[in-house]
Amino acid sequence: MDLEEAEEFKERCTQCEAVSWGLTDEGKYYCTSCHNVTERSKEVINTDVIPHAQIKALNRGLKRKNNSEKGWDWYVCEGFQYILYQQAEALKNLGVGPELKNDVLHNFWKRYLQKSKQAYCKNPVHTTGRKPTVLEDNLSHSDWASEPELLSDVNSPFLESGMESQSDVHTRKSFPISKASQSETSVCSGSLDGVEYSQRKEKGIVKMTMPQTLAFCYLSLLWQREAITLSDLLRFVEEDHIPYINAFQHFPEQMKLYGRDRGIFGTESWPNYDDIYKKTIEVATFLDLPRFPEITEDCYLHPNILCMKYLMEVNLPDEMHSLTCHVVKMTGMGEVDFLTFDPIAKMAKTVKYDVQAVAIIVVVLKLLFLLDDNLEWSLSNLAEKHNEKNKKDKPWFDFRKWYQIMKKAFDEKKQNWEEARAKYLWKSEKPLYYSYVDKPVAYKKREMVVNLQKQFSTLVDSTPTAGKKSPSSFQFNWTGEDTERTCFHGHSLQGVLKEKGQSLLTKNSLYWLSTQKFCRCYCTHVTTYEESNYSLSYQFILNLFSFLLRIKTSLLHEEVSLVEKELFKKKYSVTKKKSKSKKVRRY
Amino acid sequence: MSDFSEELKGPVTDDEQVETSVLSGAGMHFPWLQTYIETVAIGGKRKKDFAQTTSACLSFIQEALLKHQWQQAAGYMYSYFQTLEDSDSYKRQAAPEIIWKLGSEILFYHPKSNVETFNTFADRMKNIGIMNYLKISLQHALYLLHHGMLEDAKRNLSEAETWRHGEKTSSREILINVIQAYKGLLQYYTWSKKKTELSKLDKDDYAYSAVAQDVFNHSWKTSVNISALIKIPGVWDPFVKSYVEMLEFYGDRDGAQEVLTNYAYDEKFPSNPNAHIYLYNFLKRQKAPRSKLISVLKILYQIVPSHKLMLEFHTLLRKSEKEEHHKLGLEVLFGVLDFAGCTKNITAWKYLAKYLKKILMGNHLVWVQEEWNSRKNWWPSFHFSYFWAKSDWKEDTALSCEKAFVAGLLLGKGCRYFRYILKQDHQILGKKIKRMKRSVKKYSIVNPRL
């Protein structure tokens, strides 16, 4: 047995994960730390070193990994392109128009490749530090590089034929083939430029990451003015309707991922609203996109429509809609210029349409019920009495009853959601490993987990869990036949409004501001949300809505404050003198 | 993580407490500390959702186990297996043990589980890494024992015993010893069965010699297996007991005594009352001199002053010639009656009544006062309340008489307990009560006869 001879063999032991091999008399490798004997045997790789006459075992086992095991040559950006393709396809299946995939996202992506100098330009970034000669060979192909009208390009074959690597010939050709030199270095990645990519830090260039793919998706949805908000998009990702976690496992067999690719494509977190929102703006600015199509009153993203949607979602009376419209009008939040995203503008910012709509509803609830843990209950008493007396009329909206029903439904939903998250399976069928040394261990672990899961699946409750939920922009359903859950959509607000001449006034004449002072320092917070400072009703409503949007409660609180800031603009300037914040609102 | 292995082994046999106390180490556990440290280390950085959901999954499993919802637990377990692939290497290495503990617990109770499922699971878990092979083997064997599969358990232990992978560590060394000792215990069980068989046979029976030979062979193997373990500091009661039984059976008294003495007196061993009890019983069987017995029980008295052997200890002390032993005898009786569990022990009260009288007659009032001083604040309500007088009389008149006498001696004739018993008109006990009254008048410590 000779340890030196076994140095060639670099895989980890499947038993104890050590890399310390010896050779048995039969020429098989055995692990010196746990004595596990493998099926592999020593092969003579380089006859030049043979003078070691001790080698008894000859080439019996596997040959060195041949090229088919190494897989294709591919670049990181191709991987992202593939993922974007899948995501676009998934969006199409959700009912989004096909133009999104074929035109919009395609063009955004081409623009990105060009801006980040990865393709469609004279000097693609892949060649830096490598062999420029290769590029020169390919220069004859570079007529495409002068294809500037990206957004008007419609006849490109991009993304049409499923696997882009055949279709997007231009992109491929521009990459120098330098696989040979890489395979000898020890730093690894399955992609050609994975190692370099993960180290690349270029100023002014937005690097593609997994969250960035969602930013691209959202940008295209926004461009198309589709009926999917950012929170919907992220919820679909979490519910696995849009490929994101382990999206790489659907790569073609020959696109091998390991080593550094793991950090680039593997992700163990769901996307976060704030993060994707910021990335969207970042990408749009980087791509230097023109002003987006206008968000007008008939668009889904207009607050009037979104408010209607969320009022239905949380089982509030339809009559509230006229109040939300009123607030939208007073604050100017329904105006085209306010709503339309313009990345070229000085301060590029887009509206968080869904959060804003919900915040408007919260403000309206505050206007009607004050939500000070007092008035809403006494108004409920009135409504209850009235409803008991007049059983035939349209019932008055009873806040207490609504709260009880919502609380129950919300708690159930949240419990299910938490359980589903705890059961989420993160690991892909294709395990990601750091290097070839780790490959057998990673695969063995996977196999082990699958076997254990198989064994335990027989012990699980036989009633199958409802299966994969079909995607829906609604999470609650109130119009169903369930009599336990009263539907409040048709209830009237008469109990909380009073007529005065031609107009309706809220019975409640008080208001409190969620925030009295806005933060002016450089921290990104507009304001802070300390739960315990607020009434229980307010907390409940914030929790309910922020759960629906899967955002942090503080984010919604901020948005509520911003809506109030618009609504009470004048009063705000007055409050600087008067510290008292009680306001009288009239309609 | 709570230690599930203990719970798992709880129902298997009674012997297990023995080695868990050693295996889990003497260190204290602060389960909350780990999570605290983790959050501190992370600082402001967000934990990966993978880490969040798997730790939520773990709490769901624990909750389900607590509520005996085995199916739900299995459902969460299905997802929890992915921690074996955790990219955090620290967590990945800790995963097999957690999974083994939770999984074996589920399989132990799950209605759809059976020995086969458990075996498959155990075999799989043994071979994930090399860290847990021995522990799992041992627990697997205990599971089989619990299901009465002695042969399989034995085979399992033998396999584990010969398993040699990776480097040797001291903790692994102990584990191997424990495994061997369990093997020995199983052999002892067979031996013990053979022995009873033998005792039923006539010496002239033609089968006698064959069985006797068998018995001998077994004992030899067993002693080899067990003796290594019991030299290591730890609590090994069942092993020691069976080992000594065999040594005694073959007449090796010195050997047995050496083992027991070592087990009881070696300072490296954790304090263990059973060790002293075994030694005492052994010495008693050997008719050892009184002074030796006293010295053994003296240590037991320090560890468990309420042990039932204390009454025997008192008798030994009383019979001794030394005065200090007499004084200790009084202390021991008081000590026994300090414990709530012994308040109705009539022998103890009888001994105390008699002994108090004897001591007071012997003019050792100081001894009594010494003991009484620390108890006079609480014994009256603890033992001698009016309530107790009533209920004792109802339940056990003999006991109440003894107690009344003690009460009279310690608290004087005005004491409620004494008065209540005195008032009861009982035909048979009438004389005794009168005698008692006289003695109390004469000897009570409350009004010293000066």
Q: Provide DSSP, B264-315.
A: HH-TTSPP-HHHHHHHHHHHHHTT--HHHHHHHHHHHHHH-TT-THHHHHHH
Q: What is the pLDDT of residues A527-554, one digit of tens each?
A: 778 888 899 999 999 999 999 999 999 9
How far from chain centre, in Å, is Cα A309?
22
Tokens of A359: 């915040």
Interface of B with A in 73-102 (CB under 8 A): 74-79, 81-82, 84-85, 87, 99
Closest by alpha carbon to A230, among A306, A160, A175? A306
- The answer to whether the CB atoms of A449 and B81 lie below 8 A apart is yes
How many angstroms separate the CA of residue A423 from the nearest CA in chain B?
5
Question: What confidence tier does A154 reach under pLDDT thresholds 50, 70, 90?
Answer: very low
Q: Is B372 an interface residue toward A (CB < 8 Å)? A: no
| pLDDT value at residue A145 | 37
pTM given for the model: 0.73
Question: What confidence tier does A373 reach under pLDDT thresholds 50, 70, 90?
Answer: very high
| pLDDT value at residue A198 | 82
Task: Please say whether the beta carbons of A206 and A106 come within 8 A.
Answer: no
- The proportion of chain A whose per-residue pLDDT surpasses 70, expressed as a percent, equals 71
How many angstroms separate the CA of residue A281 from the nearest CA in chain B?
22
How many angstroms separate the CA of residue A488 from the nearest CA in chain B?
35
Residues linked to residue A192 through DSSP beta bridges, in sequence order: none
- The answer to whether the CB atoms of B49 and A268 lie below 8 A apart is yes
- The answer to whether the CB atoms of B57 and A461 lie below 8 A apart is no
Contacts with B127 from chain A: Cβ below 8 Å: 15
Rounded mean pLDDT, A85-89: 94
Interface of B with A in 57-76 (CB under 8 A): 57, 60, 70-72, 74-76
| pLDDT value at residue A414 | 95
Least confident of A269-273, A401-405, A458-462, A576-580: A576-580
How many angstroms separate the CA of residue B228 from the nearest CA in chain A?
25
How many angstroms separate the CA of residue B90 from the nearest CA in chain A?
14
Rounded mean pLDDT, A204-226: 93
Could you tell me which residue, A324 or B450, shows the higher pLDDT? Answer: A324
Could you tell me which residue, A284 or A6, shows the higher pLDDT? Answer: A284
Q: pLDDT tens digits, chain B, 450 residues: what are they?
A: 444 434 333 333 333 333 333 333 445 555 555 555 554 444 445 678 999 999 999 999 999 999 999 999 999 999 999 999 888 888 888 899 999 999 999 999 999 888 999 999 999 998 887 778 888 999 999 999 899 888 899 898 888 888 877 677 777 888 888 888 888 888 888 888 887 877 777 777 777 777 777 776 666 667 777 888 888 888 888 888 888 888 888 878 888 888 999 898 888 888 889 999 999 999 998 888 888 899 899 899 988 888 989 999 999 998 888 888 988 998 899 999 999 888 888 899 999 988 988 888 888 888 888 888 888 888 888 988 889 888 888 888 888 888 888 888 888 878 888 888 888 876 777 777 778 888 888 788 776 544
**Of the partner residues B78, B120, B124, the one whose CB lies closest to the CB of residue A460:** B78
- The answer to whether the CB atoms of B166 and A446 lie below 8 A apart is no
| pLDDT value at residue A238 | 92
Contacts with A240 from chain B: Cβ below 8 Å: none
Q: Minimal Cα distance from B119: which residue of A?
A: A455
Closest by alpha carbon to B64, among A252, A307, A459, A275? A459
Contacts with A14 from chain B: Cβ below 8 Å: none
**Of the partner residues A422, A423, A431, the one whose CB lies closest to the CB of residue B85:** A431
ipTM greater than cut 0.90: no
**Of the partner residues B51, B56, B120, the one whose CB lies closest to the CB of residue A455:** B120
How many angstroms separate the CA of residue B5 from the nearest CA in chain A?
20
Contacts with B103 from chain A: Cβ below 8 Å: 452, 456
Identify from A37, A245, A268 which residue to disrupt to test chain B contact, counting B C-beta atoms within 10 A and taking the largest count: A268
Could you tell me which residue, A558 or A46, shows the higher pLDDT? Answer: A558
CA–CA distance, A28 with A19 (Å, rounded to integer): 15
- Determine if residue A204 is left, alpha or beta; phi over 0 gives left, psi from -120 to 50 gives alpha, anything else beta: left
- The answer to whether the CB atoms of A16 and B127 lie below 8 A apart is no
Burial A403-419 (b: 16+ CB within 10 A, else e): bebbeebbeeeeeeeeb
Q: Minimal Cα distance from A271: which residue of B?
A: B49
Runs of H (alpha helix) within A294-438: 303-313, 320-331, 336-339, 353-369, 375-389, 399-422
**Of the partner residues A426, A446, A460, the one whose CB lies closest to the CB of residue B50:** A426
Rounded mean pLDDT, A121-141: 45
Interface of B with A in 126-165 (CB under 8 A): 127-130, 164-165
Could you tell me which residue, B360 or A43, shows the higher pLDDT? Answer: B360
Tokens of A278: 């910021």
CA–CA distance, B142 with B17 (Å, rounded to integer): 12
- The answer to whether the CB atoms of B79 and A425 lie below 8 A apart is yes
Identify from B87, B91, B104, B172 which residue to disrupt to test chain A contact, counting A C-beta atoms within 10 A and taking the largest count: B87
CB pairs under 8 A between A and B: 100
Contacts with A268 from chain B: Cβ below 8 Å: 48-51, 87
Task: Please say whether the beta carbons of A31 and A12 come within 8 A.
Answer: no
| pLDDT value at residue A543 | 95
Does the pLDDT value for residue A419 go beyond 60?
Answer: yes
CA–CA distance, A375 with A389 (Å, rounded to integer): 22
